[in-house]
Structure 1
Amino acid sequence: MAVAVPSALRISARRLSDSRGLMSLMLTASLFGPLVAPWEIRPVKAVPAPASVLSSQLSSQSFVAGAVARSGPAVVTLETQRTVRASAGNGLPQGLLMDPFFQRFFGLQGQPSPRSRVERGQGSGVIFDAQGLVLTNAHVVENTDQVTVGLPDGRRVSGQVVGQDSVTDLAVVKLKGGNSWPTAPLGNSDQLRVGDWAIAVGNPFGLENTVTLGIVSNLNRNVSQLGIQGKRLDLIQTDAAINPGNSGGPLLNASGEVVGINTLVRSGPGAGLGFAIPINRAKTIAMQLVEQGRASHPMVGIGLSSIPASAPGGVTPPGAVVRSVVSGGPAARGGLQVNDVIVAVAGVAVKSPAEVVTAIDRSGVGRPLELRVERQGRSLPITVTPVDMRALKMR
């Protein structure tokens, strides 16, 4: 067994071959206390840590438990049921199948009529209002005939879809009956930083009340970077494990506040990446769904792309190039032209098409918005008034 020896003692021990070395050893021993033979082992007495230190260690190790205790009672399971009609007759139109002539011609006489089947699904959600309002993903409750909500305390109640928005993949479900519902506190996703703790709570693969821990890996990850089109979302990226069934469940911060709604996972060799809708965005959409039954999405009627790389090294300059302008839309009426480069929105510089879309989306419908554009070497202010996406599509 190795015995720790002071460095001065080790140096002197190497000099035992002469008398001066022995004198040096004795002098060193007198300085450091009595000599200890190599075969003599003296136990080191443990000094107990102060109670305050132990308390701080325990609290730092159990912050996840505290966070889950705060919001966990409001995390629910959503069991959905939808009826799907299965067609018969080799893909022939149902109108033709009802005609006896076509039934004889195609040899379909005596075949059973089209049958329906029931598809069941499962997802997660979080109660954000004491009136029994549940925030979840639109893809969890889309086209459902029946929604059953399971609470952590064992209660199972029926739910009604109040509204859903496919553009942001958000939906609100109202619990039926009862008046005592646990709620989760909502945080501020704008205050998140990369590296903050992230706690995912949900029901992956039907395993209720599953908790996983990670960090915020990135912020403002545009959904188009994931190869998903038709959505208008900037997502929170996290390495907290998110799996099928987690959809619609909350992403919590270290204080147990909901900072995101888990929406998708991108899996790959070795690891998976999870993504959540920022709660500030989700709150805005949820209020619109509750009050109007639908959400509005501002648009100005332009198509955008990144500025082609021109600097040495292929660096893409900041901003967005206007590639198309919808005739009669807000952008056309405001004077925006193809090949204009948008460099700022509402006085804030933008680096990419995604940032332009996000800035327009935050401005709201019907509010004038100033764009700063560069056109043939000139810097111009252009004012546009966004309209709702549905109104623009009807043109």
Structure 2
Amino acid sequence: MRFSQIPRSIRQLSTHVLAIFLGVLLTVSTLQVLPSQAEPAPNPVSSNSSLQLIAQRQSPATAAIGSSSFVTAAVNRVGSAVVRIDIERTITRRVDPMFDDPFFRRFFGDSLPQRLPSEQLRGLGSGFIIDKSGLVLTNAHVVDKADKVTVRLKDGRSFEGKVQGVDEVTDLAVVKINAGGNLPTAPLGSSSNVQVGDWAIAVGNPLGFDNTVTLGIVSTLRRSSAQVGLLDKRLEFIQTDAAINPGNSGGPLLNDRGEVIGINTAIRADAMGIGFAIPIDKAKAIAFQLERGGKVAHPYLGVQMLTLTADAARQNNNDPNSPMKVAEVNGVLVMRVLPNSPAAAAGMRLGDVIVQIDGQSVTTAEQLQNIVEDSRLGQTLQVKVQRGNQTQLLSVRTAELQNASS
């Protein structure tokens, strides 16, 4: 059949299909002849072109594709201020307590040792210089009970470090080195401006691999120490997926401008791609006290607590095997009252539900802990609790946290 003999409607359809097909071919051909990134074509556009304006507005993610990324710029800005911290600690272990049993002593007498030979332990972590005079900020657990602290700079110099101050509750420590001054310092940013999805750059010495950089994002904010599993801390962490490994502890977490927004401090052994950093604003608030060797005071009530919702309380009360009945309200359930604590002195009891402090409603354990942390030592707090069907108002005078659990 000749083309002229094909019905007109079909001929028109064929013509449209052919046009589309040719358009696709032209598009593919155009894409194929575009120059690759490795071989850029000459730019015939004037210097005032819209293309240049677009290039000037590149986001950090777009800039990262170029030869010098925002990560490179950030690390170059702070890298020389990041240090490696080596510690040595001598421990002496006692023999197994069973050898103190009179039976063993009767047969072996004084030949049984009282203590085992001393053992030398070594560890490492990271830190960063916050003052030209030689002040280094790091984690408390990095320098915990260290007999000797050695601070190694990126340029290869090593200095003996003196631990100026330690605060175990916030896991922060300040170490001083005498390096003649004029040391590079890390620019401190503000963690209050950090948002979920922001770039996060971790710098440190993981597993002894010095000067290691990893990149990720801020995964979430205000992750409580209880959620992380650090029940003896009072912190709300920045969570990041930037790789953090043993040895990163104490090193900086940076934003895309190379400013410190956090201190890498913890990882979950049962997780991958989850790390935690202490917000830098928290560290700045107490670093001056630690520098002077001062002790950071933390008020406490003396309770172990759990966030309670009305639904959870109702389910508990409907369970015939539940050990106790609780008020069906939103608040903070008292799971334990520590002996000789302010809460015990005020008459707080197991099963009380704290619903208000000094007129401020509380619905989560983290919220209550923050209120207490921000109070003063010796301050009397009016705590409203729901005890069964009754409401009680207790006057609790805060005391200094020593080895209490909360």
Q: Quickly name the TM-score band, shorter chain normalised.
A: 0.7 to 0.9
- Provide closer, same or farther for how the CA distance between residues 388 and 156 of structure 1 changes in structure 2, counting only shifts above 3 A: same
1:301 aligns with 302
In 1, distance between residues paired with 2:293 and 2:258?
Answer: 30
In 1, distance between residues paired with 2:182 and 2:367?
Answer: 41
Q: Shift of the alpha carbon at 1:361?
A: 1.1
1:146 aligns with 148
In 2, distance between residues paired with 1:84 and 1:27?
Answer: 88
2:70 alignment partner, one of 60, 63, 68 = 63
Equivalence map 1:309-320=2 (5 Å): 310=311, 318-320=330-332
- Provide closer, same or farther for how the CA distance between residues 328 and 351 of structure 1 changes in structure 2, counting only shifts above 3 A: same
Q: Shift of the alpha carbon at 1:125?
A: 0.5
In 1, distance between residues paired with 2:29 and 2:345?
Answer: 89
In 2, distance between residues paired with 1:142 and 1:230?
Answer: 15
In 2, distance between residues paired with 1:17 and 1:288?
Answer: 96
1:235 aligns with 237
Query: Helix, strand or coil: the match of 1:259?
Result: strand
1:12 aligns with none
Amino acid at match of 2:228: L
In 2, distance between residues paired with 1:106 and 1:329?
Answer: 45
Give per-residue Cα distances to partners, 1:197-256, cap 9 Å, x unaligned. Answer: 211111111112211111111222222223333222222211110011101111112222
- Provide closer, same or farther for how the CA distance between residues 132 and 349 of structure 1 changes in structure 2, counting only shifts above 3 A: farther
5+ residue gaps, structure 2, are 35-40, 46-50, 317-327
- Provide closer, same or farther for how the CA distance between residues 55 and 193 of structure 1 changes in structure 2, counting only shifts above 3 A: closer
Figure out how many residues of one structure are paired with residues of the other and give that number.
Answer: 363
In 1, distance between residues paired with 2:107 and 2:385?
Answer: 67
Residue 167 of structure 2 corresponds to residue 160 of structure 1: no
In 2, distance between residues paired with 1:303 and 1:22?
Answer: 81
Preserved CA contact (<8 Å) 1:87 1:115: no
Equivalence map 1:22-171=2 (5 Å): 48=43, 50-57=51-58, 60-61=63-64, 62-85=69-92, 92=99, 105=108, 108=111, 115-171=117-173
Q: Shift of the alpha carbon at 1:91?
A: 7.6
- Provide closer, same or farther for how the CA distance between residues 42 and 345 of structure 1 changes in structure 2, counting only shifts above 3 A: same
- Provide closer, same or farther for how the CA distance between residues 258 and 346 of structure 1 changes in structure 2, counting only shifts above 3 A: farther
Residue 182 of structure 2 corresponds to residue 180 of structure 1: yes
1:386 aligns with 398
In 2, distance between residues paired with 1:149 and 1:180?
Answer: 16
What percentage of aligned pairs have identical amino acids?
Answer: 43
1:342 aligns with 354
- Provide closer, same or farther for how the CA distance between residues 133 and 310 of structure 1 changes in structure 2, counting only shifts above 3 A: same
Preserved CA contact (<8 Å) 1:16 1:22: no
Farther off after superposition, 302-311 or 62-71: 302-311
In 2, distance between residues paired with 1:325 and 1:90?
Answer: 32
RMSD of aligned alpha carbons = 4.1
Amino acid at match of 2:278: I
Residue 171 of structure 2 corresponds to residue 201 of structure 1: no
Amino acid at match of 2:75: V
In 2, distance between residues paired with 1:170 and 1:347?
Answer: 32
2:292 aligns with 291
1:359 aligns with 371
- Provide closer, same or farther for how the CA distance between residues 337 and 385 of structure 1 changes in structure 2, counting only shifts above 3 A: same
- Provide closer, same or farther for how the CA distance between residues 22 and 381 of structure 1 changes in structure 2, counting only shifts above 3 A: same
